[in-house]
């Protein structure tokens, strides 16, 4: 079979970093979710941690409702951070190599104690103000990319599908406008 060169070029343009790192990463994110679900029956999302952790320092009723889950949510988030560090110490540092991993060129790398770490070039004001809206929106909207996007969609929940379509559409529009205004990175 001879592949169409125009088609190949189009695919290369749409996926400049290939798809394997995304697909493998997605499988692992799914696997992490399944490990927790299989053992505990809990479909874990990442954004509830924000409110459950606030229950340690605030008496507001909205946060106190998460007192029962705040300890394990802290453990879940600690695991996610450590998982990111494990990735940095292995694949990102080049200790473990794989043809499925495309390192890319975003941000900048630096080294601490032999571990190759990575930092973003996206401007802090974007992260901070974007973060505020993420904190408000995910909690009012009943979920984020993991709660709605992974667990909710995996549950074929109509609420989550609507939630995902909503935040995906608005995020695309926002990013396009911000880029058109010349904000970069």
* φ and ψ of 35, to 5 deg: -55, -45
Q: Which helix (H) or strand (E) holds 115?
A: strand 115-119
Nearest residue (CB) to other proteins, 2 versus 25: 25
Site for other proteins in 130-169 (CB under 8 A): 130-160, 162-164, 166-169
Q: Which is nearer to other proteins, 9 or 174 (CB)?
A: 174
Asked if 126 touches other proteins (CB under 8 A), the answer is: yes
Q: Which residues of 55-89 are buried (b: 16+ CB within 10 A; e: fewer)?
A: beeeeeeebeebeebbeebeebeeeeeeeeeebbb
> Is residue 175 part of the contact set for other proteins (CB under 8 A)?
yes
- For other proteins, which residue of 9, 10, 12, 31 counts as binding (CB under 8 A)? 31
Q: What is the rounded distance in angstroms from the CA atom of residue 77 to the CA atom of residue 84? A: 11
Binding of residue 51 to other proteins (CB under 8 A): yes
Smallest gap from residue 184 Cβ to other proteins (A): 9
Q: Is residue 70 involved in binding other proteins (CB under 8 A)?
A: no
Residue 103 · residue 63 · CB < 8 Å: no
Residue 17 binds other proteins (CB under 8 A): yes
Binding to other proteins by residue 8, rule CB under 8 A?
Answer: no
H or E segment and range at residue 85: helix 70-87
> Is residue 30 a contact point for other proteins (CB under 8 A)?
yes
Residue 144: CB partners within 8 Å, gap ≥ 6? 45, 46, 47, 134, 138
Q: Is 85 in the site for other proteins (CB under 8 A)?
A: yes
Please list every residue from 103 through 122 that binds other proteins, using CB under 8 A. 104, 106-107, 110, 112, 115-122
């Amino acid at each position: 079979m001879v592949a169409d060169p125009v088609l190949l070029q189009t695919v290369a343009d749409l996926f400049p970093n290939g798809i394997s790192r995304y697909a493998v990463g997605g499988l692992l994110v799914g696997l992490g979710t399944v490990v927790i679900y299989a053992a505990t029956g809990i479909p874990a999302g990442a954004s509830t941690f924000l409110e459950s952790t606030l229950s340690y320092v605030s008496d507001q009723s909205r946060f106190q409702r998460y007192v029962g889950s705040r300890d394990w949510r802290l453990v879940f988030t600690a695991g996610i951070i450590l998982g990111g560090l494990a990735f940095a110490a292995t694949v990102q540092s080049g200790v473990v190599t794989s043809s499925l991993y495309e390192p890319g060129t975003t941000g900048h790398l630096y080294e601490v104690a032999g571990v190759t770490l990575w930092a973003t070039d996206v401007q802090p004001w974007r992260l901070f103000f974007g973060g505020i809206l993420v904190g408000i929106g995910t909690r009012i909207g009943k979920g984020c990319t993991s709660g709605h996007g992974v667990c909710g969609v995996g549950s074929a929940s109509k609420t989550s599908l609507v939630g995902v379509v909503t935040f995906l559409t608005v995020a695309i529009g926002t990013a396009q406008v911000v880029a058109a205004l010349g904000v970069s990175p």
